[in-house]
Structure 1
């Protein structure tokens, strides 16, 4: 499946995360899709894994005791998707 379609899927799964899906399971499922970042510059993989690390860490604690806001992390993941789309469009042109 081409990366743009995987980005579409990731973006739709972000809504499930916003709706309360298990963050650790969501993160692990995302890590299991290396094709997400295969066509992107290497720093995209690094940034995505850093965000997923924080998401998983935050899932270990309740929202009050965690230094990571899940809402902010989901917003950052959306920004990652948006940036990835821009890069893919610019390299396709």
Structure 2
């Protein structure tokens, strides 16, 4: 059951990430939703949580910029979040095999 819930939460995070990429949700809304996926984070090795929280902190700080800048690239950060999600999915699959 926990593995199924973790996968479900990852699916939700992926859907939210897609909405973030299309700017249908705000950085803060995405971050709040991602931080709420406690079962997912508990199912992954601790480093995954550390990396995700760091990315979310950067995303929230980047909300201060309205456009791409030298110090912040929204697209690059979304790409890094996608990489995290891909690696998290692979880790979950490996654990459940």
TM-score, normalised to structure 2, is: 0.86
Pairing of 1:33-48 with structure 2 (within 5 A) = 33-48=37-52
- Alpha-carbon shift at residue 80 of structure 1 (Å): 0.7
Q: Which runs of 4+ in 1 moved over 6 A?
A: none
Separation in 1, partners of 2:70, 2:64: 8
Q: Are positions 1:5 and 2:12 aligned together?
A: no
**Is the 2:31–2:56 Cα contact (8 Å) retained in structure 1?**
yes
Q: CA RMSD in A?
A: 1.5
Which moves more between the two structures, 30-39 or 2-11?
A: 30-39
Separation in 2, partners of 1:2, 1:29: 15
Gaps of 5+ in 1: none
Q: 2:19 aligns with which of 16, 19, 22?
A: 16
- Alpha-carbon shift at residue 41 of structure 1 (Å): 0.2
Separation in 1, partners of 2:50, 2:28: 18
Separation in 1, partners of 2:38, 2:8: 13
Q: Are positions 1:90 and 2:89 aligned together?
A: no
Counterpart position of 1:71: 75
What count of residue pairs does the alignment treat as equivalent?
93
**Is the 1:58–1:66 Cα contact (8 Å) retained in structure 2?**
no
